[in-house]
Structures are given as structure tokens and as C-alpha cells.
Amino acid sequence: MRLRADRPLDLAPATVLDYRELARRRLPRQLFDYIDGGAYEEVTLRANVADLERVLLRQVVMRDVSSRDPAVEVLGQRLALPVILAPVGLGGMFARRAEVQAARAAEKAGVPFIESTVSICSIEEVARATATPPWFQLYVMRDRGYAEELMSRAKAVGSPVLVLTIDLAVVGARHRDTRNAVVGDPSPWAKVLRGLDLASHPHWIRDVPLAGKPLTFGNLERAVPDAGTPAAFREWVDAQFDPSVTWDDIAWVRENWDGRLVVKGVLDPEDARRAVDVGIDAVLVSNHGGRQLDSVPSTARALPDVVDAVGDQVEVLADGGVRTGLDVVKMLALGASAVLIGRAWAWAVAARGEAGVRHVLEVMKADIDVALGLTGHTSFADLDRSTLYQADSPIPRP
């Protein structure tokens, strides 16, 4: 294995960022950047991580913390730890049937896997591979008939939770995709170089295009007959994402879905109140991992105000920038019931498949265990903002 001075790996991956480095070595540049990148100048992408780093834990010693339990109850389900695998589009391009591999790892760790609308493996394929049905993520599409059909498919495999993503009414620009010639109108020469980028990654070619077929969008086989590529995904997004969507449309989804309903992509307390008014079960504080509107606040920053607005009525989940179990504990101290991880599982599955995702979840669990113990807790039951140093203002305001 080639070692690099900028991120030494030594002999074995120990952290999520080690998996990021392994994924960088293994994936074609265009795919690594698709996972790693964010919108515009990536201000929010960086802030998600930086603001979580600035949240400090309050160490409290000499308590009896001999039996610690990281389990939580979320949306009527017991999670072995407060971590959920976020919906990540095009997963099956990172590793062979990656959604199945990740869902199996999640099941073994006792946490939910959320199947993205734009997955390579269909929801039926994922459900067949696991005993616990995945949660399902849906976009509000122009073609409401198709949305209804997807809800029926999720219901048919027993998905208990629908996660409705509402922060893609218009699509933010991701400059890395343009530079890598996967969107826009690349020159013929840029297309040749893009092909060479793929061709020069033999491990990936063996694992994904050869062993991982078919590379189509498993949930959208009627809507997007083209192979699963960022360009095909972008085309579908441009055609289907509906900028006229309002809270009335969420009410329509509510009427058509009798399981638990989560709205994903809320940053503003007023929006959170509107969501509660239409009868959702949980709000997910998310800026799409810094992939949509840049220069919006990090989720660590936005979360406490949303919790203060609606936390006594519905559950509040959060995602963005979570790379360690300590980040998980910080998000829960800020008021989340559980967090989603996106890039963490995407890098791990790209690097080492199911075993990589399992390892990342084990590492997070071990981090959480230590953080609970050294903040004087034996469970998440009594964890709140008082678990943070500078409890009133964990993140300095500008």
C-alpha cells in the first residue's frame, strides 16, 4: 500500500477519516469528489465539521459509570446506538451492491439504514438481504404517481419510516462535478480524461462495473432507464424536482403514508413549526451535508433553536459533519434524538465494503461509550446541554 505524508495510515484504518483516505485511493476521482464535495465554495460543508469540533464536552469524574448503555428509542424503534445510515444516492457506484452491504452492516450493529430514492440497489433488493426493513427516503417529485408508487413499494417491504427530503426544490451547484466533467457540457477531451479516470482504477472496475451489475437506479427503473451515473442522476433531478412544492404537498404525503414520517432538510425554527402543523413525526435538521445552499449555518449551530421550537412536540434528528462517536454525543447534547451519518458510511463501504461500515459503527460505539463515561453518564437518558462546556453558548456566535 502506498503511504502518503498528508494522511499516514500505517497498517490499519482506525477512524472515519482513515476510511476517507482509503476511499480516495480506491475510487475514481469523479466518484470520490461526488461523495466528498459540497456546494459552491463548500463553506457550509467545512462549517458542519468545524462547528462540531468547537463544541466542547464537560468532563465530569468520580461518578459510578460502571454499566453504560448507548441505546436509544427513536420513532418507536430501539437503536443500539443513536446513529442511522443516511440516504446516499448512487451508493452502488462506490462498491459492489453497496446499499446491500451497508444495510447488512447496519442491521448487525442494530441501527437503521435509509434507502435513498436514487440508490443503485432497489428497496426490494435491500429488504431481501436483511431481516429488518430499511427506512425509505423520498423526494417530492413532479410525477406524483411515481412518488405514490414508491411509497407503496416501501410499504410493501415493511419500511416503518418515510424520510421526505425537502431541501432540493432547486439544486445547488457542485463545482467539483463540473471540474470532473460529470455535469455541464464537457469538451470531448474532458470526456476522454473522465474515461481514463475510471479506467485507471482496476480494483474499482473489478468490484463495481464487473461484479456489481446492474448499475441502474433500482427504484427508478421506469423513470431513469439510463445507467447509474452522476450525469443521469442530475438529469433526473432537473426534470423531476419541483420548485413549486409547499407544505400542502407534505400534507398530501402525510395522507398517503401511514407509517412514521420525517422531513429532512429543515434548518429554520419557523419551518420546523410548519412541519409539525402538517403532522410529521420528526424533523431532521440537515443542510444536505453542505451540498445544497452554501453559507447556511452548520447543523450543530441550527439544531438548538429547532429543538427549542418543536422539541417538546416531535423528535428532532440531525446530520452533517458527524465523523466520530464524540460528534454523536455532542449532537445529542445539543438536543438530537439520534444522528445520521452520510459520508462516513460512504467512504467506509467504498474502502472495505460491509466490513468497513461495520468497523466504522464499532469505532463510533466505542467512542460513545467513553464519552458517556467521562461526562458522568451511563445512558443518553439524562444527557442535555449541561453536558457541554459553556452550556449556554456551545458555539461562539459571530
Ligand X SMILES: Cc1cc2nc3c(=O)[nH]c(=O)nc-3n(C[C@H](O)[C@H](O)[C@H](O)COP(=O)(O)O)c2cc1C
Q: Where are the beta strands (DSSP E) in the chain?
A: 72-74, 77-79, 83-85, 114-115, 135-139, 161-165, 260-266, 282-285, 315-319, 338-341
- Of residues 22, 31, 35, 395, which one binds ligand X by CB under 6 A? 35
Minimal distance in Å, beta carbon 348 to ligand X?
A: 12
- Distance separating alpha carbons of residues 22 and 347, to the nearest angstrom: 8
- Show the site string, 309-328: x = touches ligand X by CB under 6 A, - = not: ----------xxxx------
**Of 88, 306, 336, 349, the one binding ligand X by CB under 6 A:** 88
CA distance 390 to 374: 17
Closest CA to 158 of 113, 124, 107, 209: 124
Q: Which is nearer to ligand X, 46 or 108 (CB)?
A: 46
Residues 337-376 that bind ligand X (CB under 6 A): 340-344, 346
- Of 86 and 326, nearer to ligand X (C-beta) is 86
Residue 90 three-state SS: coil
Of 369, 270, 287, which is closest to residue 322 (Cα–Cα)? Answer: 287
**Residue with Cβ nearer ligand X (327 or 377):** 327
Q: Cα 105 from chain centroid?
A: 15
Q: Does 20 bind ligand X (CB under 6 A)?
A: no
The one among 44, 137, 298, 324 contacting ligand X by CB under 6 A: 137
Catalytic-role residue among 201, 288, 359, 377: 288
Active site annotation includes 288: yes
How many helices (H) and strands (E) the chain has is answered by: 15, 10
326 vs 340, which CB is nearer to ligand X? 340
**If 0-12 CB within 10 Å is exposed, 13-18 middle and 19+ buried, where does residue 139 land?**
buried
Kindly determine how many residues on this chain lie close enough to bind ligand X according to the rule CB under 6 A. Answer: 26
Evaluate whether 373 touches 361 at the Cβ level (below 8 Å). no
Whether 106 contacts 202, CB under 8 Å: no
Looking at residue 241, the DSSP 8-state letter turns out to be B
Q: Cβ distance 242 to 164 under 8 Å?
A: no
Stretch that binds ligand X, among 97-105, 148-156, 249-257, 335-343 (CB under 6 A): 335-343
**Which backbone phi and psi does 216 adopt, to 5 degrees?**
-120, 170
Give the residue from 395, 387, 397 showing the smallest Cα distance to 49: 395
Compute how many other C-beta atoms are within 10 angstroms of the C-beta atom of residue 189. Answer: 9
Place of cell 464536552: 57
Say how far apart CA 285 and CA 267 lie, in whole Å.
6
Of the residues 288, 358, 359, 377, which one makes contact with ligand X according to CB under 6 A: 288
Q: Which of 225, 220, 279 is nearest to 248 (CA)?
A: 279
CB of 197 to ligand X, least distance (A): 17
Q: Binding string, 158-197, against ligand X, x = CB under 6 A?
A: -------x--------------------------------
Give yes or no for residue 47 binding ligand X (CB under 6 A). no
Nearest distance from C-beta of residue 287 to ligand X, angstroms: 8
Q: Choose, by CB under 6 A, the member of 134, 228, 289, 335 that binds ligand X.
A: 289
Q: Which is nearer to ligand X, 239 or 381 (CB)?
A: 239
- 87 is a site residue for ligand X (CB under 6 A): yes
Window 106-125: residues binding ligand X (CB under 6 A): 116, 118
Closest to ligand X by CB, 347 vs 377, is 347
Which of residues 44, 122, 216, 286 is near ligand X by CB under 6 A? 286
Minimum distance from residue 312 beta carbon to ligand X (Å): 25
β-pair type (114-115, 338-341): unpaired
Residue 317, helix vs strand vs coil: strand
* Shortest-Cβ-distance residue relative to ligand X: 342
- Pick between residue 367 and residue 377 the one whose CB is nearest to ligand X: 367
> Minimal distance in Å, beta carbon 344 to ligand X?
6
Q: How far is the CB of 70 from ligand X (least distance, A)?
A: 19
CB of 168 to ligand X, least distance (A): 8
Within residues 52-81, the interface with ligand X by CB under 6 A covers none
Classify residue 165 by burial, with Cβ atoms within 10 Å: 0-12, 13-18, 19+.
buried
Catalytic residues: 288
Please give the residue ranges that form the binding site for ligand X (CB under 6 A): 34-35, 48, 86-89, 116, 118, 137, 165, 264, 286, 288-289, 291, 319-322, 340-344, 346
